[in-house]
């Protein structure tokens, strides 16, 4: 498939930006004021990451497996070895629960009880199916772009053998929720007078300086996608201090 086509934003993304209805599955019972059901919030959390955890049950045994992903509209793509147990089981269309979590800070209260964390997390429910052909190629591109934008264009594309060794699943999002905590600790009124430091320790995921492969020819300059990482990590470290 030509890359121009792959880069076109999905039509599905623009068609359906309404809230997910609250159901017995996705309705947040514990601290519901932190809950969100709108696609804009949930998808911004998904799009801010590229690592998720997928949960599924096989013969009564739950598994929760970390893996990379890419999103396109109301679908999340997952990829891996054709021999992967996770992909084979999930590809049979069993119920799947996928989570993405961003840890934004340690919330240190005056009491042990009120310690908490600032976070943005999304929980997604749906069923997955294996995809092939152009959708499989586009999905691999999306996953790659989600991890490091621009890298796909710089590298050798997968050959037929590599494509055969790779399975791609599309998880159709049936429902979802997000939960977000921000701000300082919430101590009990009488504890605010205690002489104990309280506040938030911000936590940010920072990309380090790239380390060239020892086998890299000296003549090869750092590629554009990696330059992007360098500038981003500098921005983030400036921000952190």
Q: With respect to ligand FAD, which residue has the nearer C-beta, 49 or 80?
A: 49
Which tokens in the block code for residue 198?
């309280």
What is the Rg, in whole angstroms, of the alpha carbon atoms belonging to the chain? 21
Closest distance of CB 99 from ligand FAD, Å:
7
> According to the binding rule CB under 6 A, does residue 123 interact with ligand FAD?
yes
Contact flag: residue 29 with ligand FAD (CB under 6 A):
yes
Rounded Cα distance between 223 and 189, Å, is 55
Q: How far is the CB of 120 from ligand FAD (least distance, A)?
A: 8
Q: DSSP string of 18-31?
A: SBPPP-TTT---SS
Residues 142, 128: Cα–Cα separation, whole Å: 17
Does residue number 101 form part of the binding site for ligand FAD (CB under 6 A)? yes
Instruction: Examine residue 121 and tell whether it contacts ligand FAD (CB under 6 A).
Output: yes
Stretch of 22-30, 69-77, 78-86, 200-208 contacting ligand FAD, by CB under 6 A = 22-30
Alpha helices in 80-223 (DSSP H): 85-91, 133-147, 151-154, 160-164
Q: How far is the CB of 205 from ligand FAD (least distance, A)?
A: 13
The β-bridge relationship of strands 116-130 and 92-108 is antiparallel
Q: How many alpha carbons lie under 13 Å from residue 77 in its C-beta half-sphere? A: 23
| Of the residues 6, 10, 13, 28, which one makes contact with ligand FAD according to CB under 6 A | 28
| Of 121 and 225, CB closest to ligand FAD | 121
| Least distance CB 147 / ligand FAD (angstroms) | 22
Q: Is 103 in the site for ligand FAD (CB under 6 A)?
A: yes
Decide: is 30 part of the binding site for ligand FAD (CB under 6 A): yes
The 3-state DSSP class for residue 172 equals strand
Q: Taking contact as CB under 6 A, which single stretch among the options 113-121, 126-134, 151-159, 160-168 is the one that binds ligand FAD?
A: 113-121
CA distance to 17, 106, 116, 130, 176, per residue, from 185 (Å): 33, 9, 7, 44, 27
156 binds ligand FAD (CB under 6 A): no
CB 122 within 8 A of CB 99: yes
47-55, 82-90, 173-181, 204-212 -> range binding ligand FAD (CB under 6 A): 173-181
The answer to whether the CB of 187 falls within 8 A of the CB of 203 is no
83 DSSP 8-state letter: T
- The answer to whether residue 200 forms part of the interface with ligand FAD (CB under 6 A) is no
Question: Which residue(s) pair with 171 in the sheet?
Answer: 76, 128
Rule CB under 6 A: is residue 106 a binding residue for ligand FAD? no
178 near ligand FAD, rule: CB under 6 A: yes
Binding-site ranges for ligand FAD (CB under 6 A): 25-30, 101, 103, 117, 119, 121-123, 177-179
């Amino acid at each position: 498939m030509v890359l121009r086509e792959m880069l076109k934003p999905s039509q599905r993304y623009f068609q359906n930006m309404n809230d997910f209805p609250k159901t017995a599955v996705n309705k947040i019972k514990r601290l519901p004021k932190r809950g969100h059901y709108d696609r804009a919030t949930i998808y911004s959390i998904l799009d801010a990451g590229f690592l998720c955890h997928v949960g599924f049950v096989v013969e009564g045994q739950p598994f929760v497996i970390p893996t990379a992903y890419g999103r396109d509209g109301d679908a999340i793509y997952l990829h891996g070895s054709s021999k992967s147990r996770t992909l084979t089981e999930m590809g049979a269309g069993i119920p799947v629960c996928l989570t993405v979590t961003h840890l934004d800070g340690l919330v240190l209260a005056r009491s042990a009880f009120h310690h908490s964390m600032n976070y943005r997390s999304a929980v997604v429910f749906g069923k997955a199916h294996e995809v092939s052909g152009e959708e499989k190629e586009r999905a691999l591109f999306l996953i790659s772009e989600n991890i490091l934008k621009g890298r796909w264009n710089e590298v050798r594309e997968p050959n037929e053998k590599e494509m055969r060794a790779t399975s791609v699943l599309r998880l159709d999002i049936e429902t979802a929720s997000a939960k977000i905590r921000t701000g300082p600790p919430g101590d009990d009124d009488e504890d605010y007078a205690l002489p104990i430091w309280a506040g938030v320790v911000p936590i940010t995921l920072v990309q380090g300086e790239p380390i060239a492969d020892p086998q890299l020819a000296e003549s090869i300059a750092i590629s554009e996608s990696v330059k992007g990482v360098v500038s981003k990590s500098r921005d983030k470290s400036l921000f952190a201090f």
